[in-house]
Amino acid sequence: MKAPMSTAKAEDTRKRILQAALGLFQTRGFDDTTMREIAQAAGVATGAAYYYFASKEAMVMAFYELASREMQPGIAEALAERGSLEEHLRRLIETKLRYFEPNRVLLGALLRHATDPRHPLSPFSQETRAIREADIEAFALALTASETRVPKDLAGPLPRLLWMFQLALIFFWITDHSAAQVRTHKLLERSVRLVANLIKLAGLPLMRPLRKTVLDLIEIVETP
């Protein structure tokens, strides 16, 4: 039931509701914010929220979509400079974390359903496909921008693999309670270096059997 937002006024109402929701989520947390509070803060009736958003969680999704769109220029910029794959990956992921930073904890509410690909809000769902593919494209760009030599057979799945690597990092980040999430940033730095090195290694003739094995596994996982 995506809202049609034909008129400017409707669009405005939608924005007001979303803004009220995000504000409350940030100050009181996702779970402790009620739909009635959101509606009241936006100056509308409870039901209005459901005219524009399918559910409470869909509001977090709307935030995610918004943020994803907004950070596109930042990402393009991060990938524009020359540099190694390691640098590109680190800049790409750091850019994302920076954008999400004010709503770090909130993201956890979204990723609750990560493990169920049937759930509309799962990062693996049909519904989030468009945004996911755009995301993966950024990693493909990081590869070409850094002029990394990638074995032919690995080139196809690699962007998606990097995206999943990033997703894992984001998971860690969300529940990282260290000050300023230093643990995540340390992990990011080291793991990105490892990943970049592994990709280089993967091209060695010696590595061919291992690479084939891994690709075999990937195919099992990705073939529906």
- Contact positions with a second copy (CB under 8 A) in 64-123: 108, 111-118
Q: Of the ranges 46-54, 69-77, 132-140, 210-218, which one interacts with a second copy (CB under 8 A)?
A: 210-218
- Residue 214 touches a second copy, criterion: CB under 8 A: yes
Q: CB under 5 to 8 A by kind: which of DNA, a second copy, none does 10 bind?
A: DNA
**Size of interface with a second copy, in residues (CB under 8 A):** 26
* Contact status, residue 49 vs residue 55, Cβ threshold 8 Å: no
What would the DSSP string read from start to end of 76-134?
HHHHHS---HHHHHHHHHHHHHHHHGGGHHHHHHHGGGTT-TTSTTSTTSSTTHHHHHH
Residue labelled with tokens 């590595």: 207
Q: CB under 5 to 8 A by kind: which of a second copy, DNA, none does 48 bind?
A: DNA
DSSP assigned state of 102:
G
What would the DSSP string read from start to end of 46-72?
HHHHHHH-SSHHHHHHHHHHHHHHHTH
Q: How far apart are CA 76 and CA 72, in angstroms?
A: 6
Q: CB under 5 to 8 A by kind: which of DNA, a second copy, none does 34 bind?
A: DNA
Contact string (CB under 8 A) for a second copy, positions 139-178, x = contact: --------------------------------xx-xx---
Q: Of the ranges 24-32, 82-90, 140-148, 186-194, which one interacts with a second copy (CB under 8 A)?
A: 186-194
For residue 45, CA distances in Å to 3, 19, 41, 224 come to 16, 15, 10, 43
- Choose between 53 and 139: whose C-beta lies nearer to DNA: 53
Q: CB under 5 to 8 A by kind: which of DNA, a second copy, none does 172 bind?
A: a second copy
Smallest separation, CB 49 to a second copy (Å): 22
* Residues in contact with DNA by the rule CB under 7 A: 3-7, 9-10, 13, 31, 33-36, 43-48, 50-51, 54-57
Residues in the chain: 224
- Count CB atoms within 10 A of the CB of residue 177: 6
* Contact status, residue 35 vs residue 17, Cβ threshold 8 Å: no
Smallest separation, CB 5 to DNA (Å): 6
End-to-end CA separation in angstroms for the chain: 28
- Choose between 50 and 171: whose C-beta lies nearer to a second copy: 171
